[in-house]
Amino acid sequence: MCLGIPGKIVEILDEDLLLAKADVSGVRRNINIGLVHHEDEQVAVGDWVLIHVGFAMSKLDEAEANATLAALKELGDAYEQELEELHASQIE
């Protein structure tokens, strides 16, 4: 729950509900982008975001995303569990 996982936005699904599809370690899941997509800041397809419990919390560049993913993989079980829970997620 406390891990932030980088994902890449692959589709903006709904501008009103602020839903987007993100690719996280090869799996595509819906996320909410309300905290990074508003009048002062926007995300677009191709952007990387740090995802906490289904919400994009901040934007990050690709190098940072890759470094974060590498660090997460080294965490082992904690990251595996988080990914497993994300795989089961069906946000609408």
Partner 1 sequence: MKYVSEFRDAELARAVSAEIASVTDPERHYKVMEVCGGHTHTIYRHGIKDLLPDQIELVHGPGCPVCVLPMGRVDEGISIAERPEVIFTCFGDMMRVPGSKGNLLEVKAEGADIRMVYSPLDALRIARENPDREVVFYAIGFETTAPSTALTLQRAKKEGLENFSVFCNHVTIVPPVRALLDSPDLRLDGFVGPGHVSTVIGCRPYEFMSEDYGKPCVVAGFEPLDLLQSVLMLMRQIGAGRCEVENQYSRIVPWEGNLAALKSMAEVFELRPYFEWRGLGFIAQSALKLSPAYADFDAELRFSVPGVRVADPKACQCGEVLKGVLKPHECKVFGTACTPERPLGALMVSSEGACAAYYNFGRKSFEKVEIGSKV
User: 26 is written with which tokens?
Assistant: 């090869």
Answer for which of 26, 44, 46, 77 binds partner 1 (CB under 8 A) is 77
Look-up: residue for tokens 């940072």? 64
- 44 is a site residue for partner 1 (CB under 8 A): no
From the list 35, 51, 44, 41, the residue with the least C-alpha distance to 89 is 51
The closest of 5, 3, 15, 4 to 43, measured between CA atoms, is 15
Decide: is 24 part of the binding site for partner 1 (CB under 8 A).
Answer: no
Near partner 1 by CB under 8 A: residue from 34, 45, 62, 73: 34
Please give the Cα distance from 79 to 35 (Å, whole number): 23
Q: Where do contacts with partner 1 occur on this chain (CB under 8 A)?
A: 1-4, 17, 32, 34-36, 38, 40-41, 50, 52-55, 57-58, 60-61, 64, 67-68, 70-71, 74-78, 81, 85-86, 88-92
